[in-house]
Amino acid sequence: MAPSPSPPPTPGDDVPVSALSRGRLVDVLTDTVGDLERLELPLTVEGVEEARRLRSSLIGQVRDHVLPRLADADVPAIVVVGGSTGAGKSTLVNSVLGREVSDAGVLRPTTRTPVLVVNPEDAEVLADHPVSEVSLSVVSDVVPAGLALVDASDLDSVHEANRTLAVRLLEATDLWLFVTTAARYGDQTPWSTLEEAARRSTPIAVVLNRVPARILSVVRRDLVTRLEGLGLAESPFFVVPDAGPHEGLLPASSVIELRDWLSLLAGRHRAAGLMRRTDRSIWPGLRSDLNRLADAVDAQDDAGRRLERAGQALLTEPLTALRDDVARGVAGDGAPATRWVSHASAGGALASLAQGGRLRRGLFGRAVAARGRALGEVVVELREALVLRLSAALSSVVAQAKTVWEEAGVADRADGVLGAGAGAEAVVDKWIDQVRADPPSAPGGGSRGIKGLEPRGAADLVIAASCGVEGAADSARRLGLTERVTAARSALIAALTGALHAAVPAGAALRLVPDPALAAALRLRAGELVPLVHPGAEA
């Protein structure tokens, strides 16, 4: 047998629930909403989807239900009629009220606005309520004073915005009238919403609508068994028989039981009893949920640290390879070395420099200019070799890092962070410009340059030597430029290292996660609710 409709709560059901002043409680809950609105849970960890839904749910519940109730004691009890598509919610609302207040029909419009039916006495106090902001308000004396009836959007609407709105309305409710049919009561979306509402002790009444007589006993037995599994065995339960194809209101006999039950809530003192019962059910769940979200913040922090370590670990191998290449002079192999040999051979512009001979100026300094041009060509080859090596290293490490971030569920945040440092060309050019900006002088010669070399040519010799062009390194040593070559090589290693670190910035993964202090803040808010959960207890 289905449980019979329970009588509405009365003022006598109330017990003292809080040692907190109303003002202090408003402050605590306002701070709680602020903490939740700042909370992001971007990383993919176990249970994160549930935590994200819980966060949104709590924001809606506190903002749309609890705070308005605390701000104005005259806010009527809100009864939300919700369920799946085609459950007949609007027809049921109209029939219970005995008047067409909400559009009903088989074919729903693309966007369905919830309808809020409110008694004239309550219209003003509900005017600024969050529920009024998302609903079409209908002022009518067919709904009892102290109650407001909401014909909600479909929980399983094909439009995400409608589904979101339906859930938001349920967060603001004092009583959920769950409307379903013989064909739809087991559907996943409505039922999972019912499970969550039951977990949070939301007051719930169930309407099994449009039930053909031939299957009524089977369907009712199965639905009641399911409800018992959710701890809803004592919830008011109503059956509305199938009226077949029809237009307009259902026969009064079909909804008389539900209408009478709602009428029992008429009057402000009885509606207030419903609200007090709702309030008592809120605090334990809210406190528990805040602690669950604090745990979710901790999980995000752990995941962020793992992601950070994984990202930085990707730099180890390419950094070691680039540093070793520079130290061994690998960049000077190939085209740069070939270019040096071609200019250092007999009769070449760099022959005397390579052989350690006297660096003559030549007529009008033509030999000096020729050496400068030749060294510049060597540097061009070196630049290309360095850019290619650095580009390959950057591309590889950024691709790997993006894969790691994608696995962590934050691929959409990688752009603008990973690989956002200066490009390989800019890094190499900056290093070359820095060496050229401070051309070497002759050892012990004060500000005198290297005889037989232009200042830029001398700097280019240092660049070539620091990259390991063998003949250039020997020439620089003979000219006493060993320290300058060593310094240039160190600067090159630092530039390449900095480029890789900029591609996968240290701390980038940690900046994705919520501030760990939010976990402590949420636990603090939960602690402040202790007097509401256990009257007389200290927070």
**DSSP states of 31-98 as a string?**
HHHHHHHH----S--TTHHHHHHHHHHHHHHIIIIIHHHHH-TTPPEEEEEEESTTS-HHHHHHHHHT
Residue with tokens 């290093």: 431
Percentage of the chain beyond pLDDT 90 is: 42
Helix or strand or coil: residue 521? helix
Look at residue 14 in the predicted model and tell me its pLDDT.
39
CA distance 302 to 402: 19
The answer to whether 131 touches 169, Cβ cutoff 8 Å, is: yes
Look at residue 266 in the predicted model and tell me its pLDDT.
59
User: pLDDT-derived band of residue 182, with 50, 70 and 90 as boundaries?
Assistant: confident
Residue ranges of the chain assigned to CATH 3.40.50.300? 11-102+112-300+520-533
- Architecture of the domain made up of 11-102+112-300+520-533: 3-Layer(aba) Sandwich (3.40)
pLDDT at 275 over 60: no
Could you read off the pLDDT of 427-446 as tens digits, one per residue? Answer: 999 999 999 999 988 665 55
Q: What is the mean pLDDT of the segment spanning 283-310?
A: 93
Could you read off the pLDDT of 335-368 as tens digits, one per residue? Answer: 999 999 999 998 898 988 988 878 887 777 788 8
- The tokens for 299 are 């999980």
The answer to whether 67 touches 30, Cβ cutoff 8 Å, is: yes
Could you read off the pLDDT of 443-479 as tens digits, one per residue? Answer: 655 556 788 899 999 999 999 999 999 899 999 999 9
**This prediction's pTM:** 0.70
Residue with tokens 């040593």: 477
Percentage of the chain beyond pLDDT 70 is: 88
- The tokens for 366 are 């033509």
Measured CA to CA in angstroms, residue 469 lies from 58, 136, 206, 475 at distances of 66, 80, 85, 10
User: pLDDT-derived band of residue 534, with 50, 70 and 90 as boundaries?
Assistant: low
pLDDT at 17 over 90: no
Strands 77-83 and 175-181: parallel
pLDDT at 198 over 90: no
Strands 175-181 and 136-139: unpaired
- The tokens for 339 are 């270019």
Measured CA to CA in angstroms, residue 48 lies from 72, 290, 500 at distances of 35, 14, 32
Q: Return the DSSP state at 154.
A: P
Look at residue 390 in the predicted model and tell me its pLDDT.
96
Backbone angles phi, psi at 210, to 5 degrees: 55, 50
525 burial via Cβ count (<10 Å: 0-12, 13-18, 19+):
buried
pLDDT at 512 over 70: yes
**Beta sheet of 136-139, edge-to-edge order:** 136-139, 115-118, 147-151, 77-83, 175-181, 204-211, 237-241
pLDDT at 8 over 70: no
pLDDT at 10 over 50: no
CA distance 51 to 54: 5
Look at residue 411 in the predicted model and tell me its pLDDT.
92
- The tokens for 113 are 């606005």
Average pLDDT, whole number, for the chain?
85
pLDDT at 16 over 60: no
Closest CA to 43 of 480, 425, 508, 363: 508
Look at residue 463 in the predicted model and tell me its pLDDT.
96
Could you read off the pLDDT of 359-418 as tens digits, one per residue? Answer: 887 777 788 899 999 999 999 999 999 999 999 999 999 999 999 999 999 999 998 899
The answer to whether 491 touches 435, Cβ cutoff 8 Å, is: yes
